Amino acid sequence: MTAFSLAWRTARRYRARAVLAVCGIAVIGALNFDMLMLSRGLMLSFAGLINGTGYDVRIAGSAGLPLARTPIDRASALLAQVQALPEVASAAMMRTATAALVRMNRPGEGIELIGSSDSAGLGIWRPVSGSNLDGDEGDRSLAPAVIARPIADRFDFAPGATIAVRARASSLSAIPTVRFRVVGIADFPFEAAGAFVVATTMDGFARAQGGVVNDEAEFMFAASRPQVGADAAAAAISKLRPDVRAFSNEQVIASFSRNAFTYFRQVSVVLSTTTAAFSFLLVTTLLTVSVNQRLGEVAALRALGIARRRIAATLVWEAALLVGIGGLLALPLGELLAAILDRILRRMPGLPAGLHFFVFEPQALLLHAAVLAATAAVAATYPAWLAVKLPIAQTLRQEVVS
């Protein structure tokens, strides 16, 4: 009989203890798997968001961070300069303002009004139904608008509907209401969940502002030419004006990884270490108790000529079975727990709807398997040493007397 077969029969013989060990390891392994996903989850989710826009360079004012809404002055002239650069394939800008959705005999609903020079939305929205800003739904004499899904769900709007928007003036003068035709409904992953957002063209944005807008932009984006690369394009854009800074997506991700997401990595490391220690203690304790309960059996096997190495291999296989089965069960359990925790954490106010705390990646699975394998190997060391160093005659005598 092989060492594996003997370990399997031992686990089946002591089913209650084996089931307890597997359940304990599954729970602990699920927590460890979640912590591994948390360690890089925010960074991966954030990278997916900004890389999904189709633009690989972010342009900001010299005093602003890569994603800060610091206004860029003389935006139209800068946009033309950026588009003329040989390193840049395309560029676009975006403006934002607070406004209100006006309905007949009802109080206005606060919204965020976005003006985009890119009809596809600079990647800041993802169409759910209808078209982008180049769609022809509704009254063509009105400026097009793409609305957030929460607005459509609450007021039962669909592509082709007409909405009225009034921008909120900073002075005592009143800005008239402007009507828009809804051409599409979309999700806005960069905005908070449930946010009311209306996006339109730059011309529609100017109409909503009463036709008078200053030449500023909160965000400006560029797409580099493939043969040049984002870093070269960002360097060329930064040289255009001393009050402008450009960042490649990789630079933005690296900056946020060093600063904004460090706390979650530290929490993940601490909790992963703790769960690994608990898993080690659980398996070691159960195997040690198992050996102590079977001292006579182990001594008899050795008296019959079974090699110490084979007995030690049996205990290692027993640990591997318990940890392996528990580790496999930990994966679906961890995914379920991660989904619940992610849903709770994403309720934080102001958090972008497209950002997730727990993101699966193959690296997390490999680390999970490595931690469990190390746990099984180390946890079996002491019980195996106890079994191979067992005094045969004394142990058999004690078993007969007891």
> Could you please report the per-residue DSSP string of 292-304?
HHTHHHHHHHHHT
Which structure tokens are listed for 150?
């929460």
11 and 83: one domain?
Answer: no
pTM: 0.73
Tell me if 366 is assigned to some domain. yes
- pLDDT of 98-157, one tens digit each? 899 988 777 778 899 999 998 888 778 889 999 999 888 888 889 999 999 999 999 999
Among the listed residues 320, 281, 378, the one whose alpha carbon sits nearest the alpha carbon of residue 8: 320
CA–CA distance, 194 with 219 (Å, rounded to integer) = 22
Tell me if 248 is assigned to some domain. no
Looking at 217, 251, 271, which one is the last position of a domain?
Answer: 217
10 and 91: one domain?
Answer: no
For residues 30-45, average pLDDT: 85
Tell me if 378 is assigned to some domain. yes
Tell me if 396 is assigned to some domain. yes
Tell me if 63 is assigned to some domain. no
Contact (Cβ atoms closer than 8 angstroms) between residue 361 and residue 40: yes
24 and 122: one domain?
Answer: no
13 and 108: one domain?
Answer: no
119 and 21: one domain?
Answer: no
Tell me if 375 is assigned to some domain. yes
pLDDT of residue 158: 92
Other beta carbons within 10 angstroms of residue 105's beta carbon come to 4
CA–CA distance, 370 with 385 (Å, rounded to integer) = 23
Domain total in the chain = 2
Tell me if 288 is assigned to some domain. yes
pLDDT of residue 84: 93
42 and 82: one domain?
Answer: no
pLDDT of residue 80: 92
172 and 308: one domain?
Answer: no
Average pLDDT, the chain: 83
Least confident segment among 182-191, 265-274, 350-359: 265-274
pLDDT of residue 172: 42
In the predicted model, is pLDDT for residue 260 greater than 80? no
pLDDT of residue 88: 93
- Angle, nearest 10°, between helix axes 308-345 and 381-388? 160
Looking at 187, 217, 247, which one is the last position of a domain?
Answer: 217
Looking at 217, 237, 272, which one is the last position of a domain?
Answer: 217
354 and 284: one domain?
Answer: yes
Tell me if 34 is assigned to some domain. yes
In the predicted model, is pLDDT for residue 272 greater than 90? no
**Containing domain of residue 271, as a range?**
3-50+260-401
351 and 391: one domain?
Answer: yes
In the predicted model, is pLDDT for residue 168 greater than 80? no
pLDDT of residue 171: 47
pLDDT of residue 277: 81
330 and 395: one domain?
Answer: yes
80 and 42: one domain?
Answer: no
* Percentage of the chain modeled with pLDDT above 90: 25
- pLDDT of 182-211, one tens digit each? 999 999 988 888 889 999 999 999 888 877
304 and 374: one domain?
Answer: yes
pLDDT of residue 157: 92
3-state SS class at 349: coil
pLDDT of residue 186: 93
